[in-house]
Every structure is written in structure tokens, then in C-alpha cells.
Structure 1
Amino acid sequence: MLLEVEGLCVNYGHIEAIRDISFGVPEGTVTTLIGANGAGKTTTLKTVSGLRKVRAGTVRFDGKDITSLAPYERVKLGINQSPEGRRCFVGMTVRENLDMGAFVRKDRKTQAYRDDLDRVLTLFPRLQERINQPAGTLSGGEQQMVAMGRALMSRPRLLLLDEPSMGLAPKLIQQIFSIVTEINEQGTTVLLVEQNAAQALKRSDEAHILETGAIVRSGTGAELAGDEAVKAAYLGGDV
């Protein structure tokens, strides 16, 4: 198991945001967390990446306890996050944003670094066209590509994706999810948080449903997509 979350509890002040959740992310898979707004999905990702402190429980990565590690130390180990809302550096160019994703790397002048940049630009050809534009001048879909590409530049073993389809047109949503599948097929394990449950479950090996900070249902993506109660609650009655 690449990522193991065990008995995790996280508070915002006196508010319990996550209540005793446990799940794993097998290496090589796409694992998805779905649920309504406020269910604890983003908090879970932030806790895995080290941006939220743990009240109780353990986070292990590749067998190592990382519960107390700083975020940048987790990036060095191979965890990186594409955050909700993209969070691009709007005054910097696309190339500079991508370079920022590799801040922990010491091989920026090597062929390996150029190969990784080429990989990102192959995944997102639009970014090659916009490579010298400030990120703030890009469309929402293009900024999402920058955010995902920036995270990939650290060579993560585990990529955390928080709402990659938020605010995008249907055609772009399809494109982004196809790229998520391609990233996974190239060897990167993905932990995905997504409101578009139908698209997410289609591409998920495993999935967990969160409600008010607790996991209430788990299964394969296909199992949850075919469950009548899940359809009614999250898929509009159909996939």
C-alpha cells in the first residue's frame, strides 16, 4: 500500500472536520474521494500533504510514518498536490510556474529535467503554446493544466488532485479526466477529490464516500457507480 491513512482525526478549532477515517491507496491506482461540500474531502488531501495538523491518527507513505513531516519533506518523498482553485502564480509565466513545481529538485540543468518538462508539455500541448504567457492571462482550463503540470514537475509517486474539473466547460472536463487516466497509466498513483462523481468513478480503481467527516461507503469505482443509493445521492440517478 503506497498511502495508508489510519484513524485520522482533524479539527478546525473546535469543529471536527474529519472523524476517525481509515483508507489506503494502492500503488498504481486511481483512488477517489467523493461527497458533498463540507464532507471533509479537501481537508483529507491537505492532511496527507501536510497542510493540516493531525489531532489523532497516522499517515504512512510507502511504509514510513509521515504524520509529523513538513509539507516540503513530503514533496521530497514523492507526494505533491494540485490544489482546489488551481492557485497559479498569476504574474509568472507558464514556464516559471512549471519550474516552481520542481523547487525541491537539484537537477534542473540535466536531461532528466528537460525530459520531465517535455512530458508535461506533451500531456498538455496547450501549455507549449502559452509557455511564455503570464498564468493570469490563461483560461480556467489552461490554469488547471498549469496546476497539474506544476505538481508533476516534482516527479511525484502520489499525485493529489483536488477538484480538477471545477468550473470547467463539459468538453474540457472530459479532456482533463482523460489526462488524469494517462498520468496514471504512465505510472503515477492518483488520489482524486472530485465533485463530478460520475466521471471520477468511471476512472477509479477504488473509491470512498465521505459524509460529515467520516467514510460511510467504500468499494471499487464500478461498484459505487452501479449502486442505486450512490446514483441517487451523487450521480443524479444515473452514471
Structure 2
Amino acid sequence: MLLEVEGLCVNYGHIEAIRDISFTVEEGQVVTLIGANGAGKTTTLKTLSGLRTVRAGSVVFEGRDITKVPAYERVALRISQSPEGRGVFVGMTVRENLDMGAFVRKDRKTPAYTEDLDRVFDLFPRLKEREKQVAGTMSGGEQQMLAIGRALMARPRLLLLDEPSMGLAPKLIQQIFSIIREINQQGTTVLLVEQNAAQALKIADTAHILETGEIVRTGTGKELAGDDSVKAAYLGGDL
């Protein structure tokens, strides 16, 4: 098992943001967390990245308990996140942003590094075209591509994606999800938080529904997409 989350509890002050959640992610899967705003999805990803303190429970990655491992060490363990809101370095160029994604790597002058950069440019040809452009001058869709590309430069075993479709036009959303599927098919395990439940369930091997910090439903993407109660609550009544 690549990732095992057991009995996880996280607070913001006295408020429980995550309440005793448990789930696993197998290597090679796409697993998605869906739910309304405030359900605890982003907090879950931040906790897995080491950006939130765990009150109770554990996070085990590749058999190692990383519950108290700091965030920068988790990147070195090959857990990488593309954050909600993209978070690109707006004053840096595309290439500089990508290089920042690889800050823990010690092989920047090797063919392996060049291969990873080429992989990102193959997935996102627009980034190659904009390689010397300052990130803050790019469109929202281009910045989202850059955020994912930057996360990939850490060579993650587990890629955490937080709301990759947020604020994007429908045509671009389709493109982003197609690329996420391709990233997974190339061998990267993906844990996806996404409000566009219809798109997320289409590519998910396993899906968990969060409500007020708790997992209330689990199933395959196909099972949940076909469930009438899920359709009514999260899919606008239909896919």
C-alpha cells in the first residue's frame, strides 16, 4: 500500500476540521475526495503534505510513519502537491518555477532532470512556448498547468492535486483532466481533491465523499457516479 491514513483528526483551534478519517491509496490509482466547501478536503491534502499538525491518527507512506515528518522532507520522500489557487511564483519565469519544483533534487545537471523537464513540456506544450515568460502574466489555465508541472518536477510517487479545475473554462477543464489521466497512466499515483465531482469520478478508481470532516461514502468512481443520491447532491442530478 502506498498511503495509509488511519483515524486522522485535525483541528483549527477548537474547531474539528477533520474527524477520524481513514482511507488508503494503492500504487497506480487515482483516488478522489469530493464534497462541499468546508468538508475538509483541502485540509486533508495539507495534512498529508505536512502543512497541518495532526491531533490524532497516523499517516503512513510506503510503510513508514510520516505523521510528524516535516513538509520539506515529505517532498524528498516524493510526495508533491499542486495547491488550491495554483500558488505559482508570479515574479519568476515558467522555467524558474519548474526548477523550484525540483529544489530537493541533487541531479539538476543530469539527463534524468532533462528528461523530466521534457516530460512536463510534452504534457503541457504551452509551457514550452512560455518557458521564458513571467508566470504572473499568464492566464489562469496556463498557471494551473505550471502548478501541476512544477509538482511533477519533484518526481512524485504520490501527486496531490487540489482543485485543478477551479476557475477554468469548460473546454480547459476537459484538457486538464485528460492530462491528469495521462500522468497517472505514465505511472504516477494521484490523490485528487475536486469540486467538479462529475469529472473527478470519471477518472477515479476509488472515491470518498467528505461531509463536515468525515468520510460518509466510499466506492469506485463509477459506482458513485451512478448513485442517485450522489447525483442529486454533487452532480446536479446527472453526469
TM-score above 0.5? yes
Corresponding residue for residue 70 of structure 2: 70
Q: How does 1:18-57 map to 2 (within 5 A)?
A: 18-57=18-57
SS in 2 for 1:20: strand
Instruction: Give the alignment of 1:178-193 within 5 angstroms.
Output: 178-193=178-193
SS in 1 for 2:84: coil
Counterpart of 1:10? Answer: 10
Question: Which residue of 2 is the match for residue 138 of structure 1?
Answer: 138
Give CA-to-partner distance per residue, 1:19-74, whole Å, 9 cap, x none: 00000011100000000000000000000010000000000001110000000111
- Aligned-pair CA distance for 1:78: 1.0
Amino acid at match of 1:140: G
Aligned counterpart, 2:108: 108
Q: Which amino acid counterpart does residue 12 of structure 2 have in structure 1?
A: Y
Report the counterpart of residue 174 of structure 2 in structure 1.
Answer: 174
The alignment partner of 2:53 has SS state of: coil
Instruction: Please state whether the residue corresponding to 1:80 is helix, strand or coil.
Output: strand
Unpaired segments ≥5 residues, structure 1? none
2:67 counterpart letter in structure 1:
T
Q: Distance in 1 between matches of 2:168 and 2:135?
A: 16
- Cα deviation per residue 1:143-179 (whole Å; 9 max; x = unaligned)? 0000000000000000000000000000000000000
Q: Which amino acid aligns with 1:213?
A: G
Counterparts of 1:175 and 1:83, CA distance in 2: 18
Matched, 1:92 2:84: no
Find the counterpart in structure 1 of residue 213 from structure 2: 213
Which residue number in structure 2 is paired with residue 195 of structure 1?
Answer: 195
Q: In the alignment, residue 129 of structure 2 is paired with which amino acid?
A: E
**Residues 208-228 of structure 1: per-residue CA shift (max 9 Å, x gap):** 000000000000000000000
> Following the alignment from structure 2 to structure 1, what is the Cα–Cα distance between the partners of residues 76 and 235?
37
Runs (4 or more) in structure 1 with deviation over 3 Å come to none
TM-score w.r.t. structure 1 length?
Answer: 1.00
Q: TM-score scaled to structure 2, two decimals?
A: 1.00
- AA paired with 2:64? K
What is the CA–CA distance in structure 2 between the aligned matches of 1:228 and 1:170, rounded to whole Å? 24
Tell me which amino acid in the other structure corresponds to 2:149: G
**1:120 aligned onto 2:120:** yes
Letter in 2 for 1:52: R
